[in-house]
Amino acid sequence: MATNVLAIVLNAHRFENSFFYSLSVDFLSYFSSNFYRHSMENQDTPNSGNINQQFNQQFGQPPLGYQVLPNSTAVLVLGIISIVGCFCYGLVGVVTSIVALVLAGKATALYTQNPGMYSEASFKNMKAGKVCAIIGLCLSALCLISMIIYICVLGAAFSTIPWSTIR
C-alpha cells in the first residue's frame, strides 16, 4: 500500500525513471515486508498474554492482594496544583499544599501501620505528592511574602505623596 502511494506521488512528478524512484520503492517494499513478517512472528510468543498484566502491575491496578493507599492520588494532584497555584498570589498554593500535606500525613500513618496491605506504587505516588506539596508550599509562601512586601512598599510610597496639594 505504501509503495503504491509513493509510486502515485512520484509518477505525478514524472520521476518514474530516476534512481531515487527505484531506491525508494525498493526501500519501502523491503521495510513493509520485514515489518509485516516481524509482527507476525511476535504474535504467538508465550508472553503475549502477560503484557497487559505487566502493564497493570507497573502503572495501573495494584497486584492481587494489595490495595491502593487511600488519598494517594489526591495528594499527588493537590501537590501538583499547589505548584501551579503559587502564581495565584500564593493563596491557592498555600491552601492546596496544606491540604495535601495533611492527607499525606494520614496516608503515611496508614501505610506504617500495615505496609504489606498497600501497594508500593501508591505509596510512591503519595511520597511524590508530598514532595510536590512541600515545594508548592515554599513557592507559595515566597510569592505571598513578596506580595505583602510589594503592598507595604506601595502603601509607603503612596503615603508620602502630598494628596492635599494635588487638584
Which pLDDT belongs to residue 51?
60
* Residues forming a β-bridge with 67: 118
Report the alpha-carbon distance of residue 63 to residue 56 in Å, rounded.
8
Residue 42 is given by DSSP the state G
Task: Report yes or no on whether pTM surpasses 0.75.
Answer: no
CA 130, chain centre distance (Å): 16
Q: What angle do CA 113, 118, 124 make, to 5 degrees?
A: 100
Which pLDDT belongs to residue 6?
46
Reading the chain (167 residues) residue by residue, the pLDDT tens digits are 545 544 554 454 554 555 555 545 555 565 555 555 555 555 555 555 566 555 555 555 555 668 889 999 999 999 999 999 988 888 999 999 999 999 999 999 999 998 889 988 899 999 999 999 999 999 999 999 999 999 999 999 999 988 888 87
Question: Residue 64 half-sphere exposure, CB side, CA atoms within 13 Å?
Answer: 1
Q: How far is CA 66 from CA 16, 61, 162, in A?
A: 63, 9, 71
Which pLDDT belongs to residue 46?
53
8 A C-beta contact, residue 107 and residue 126 = yes
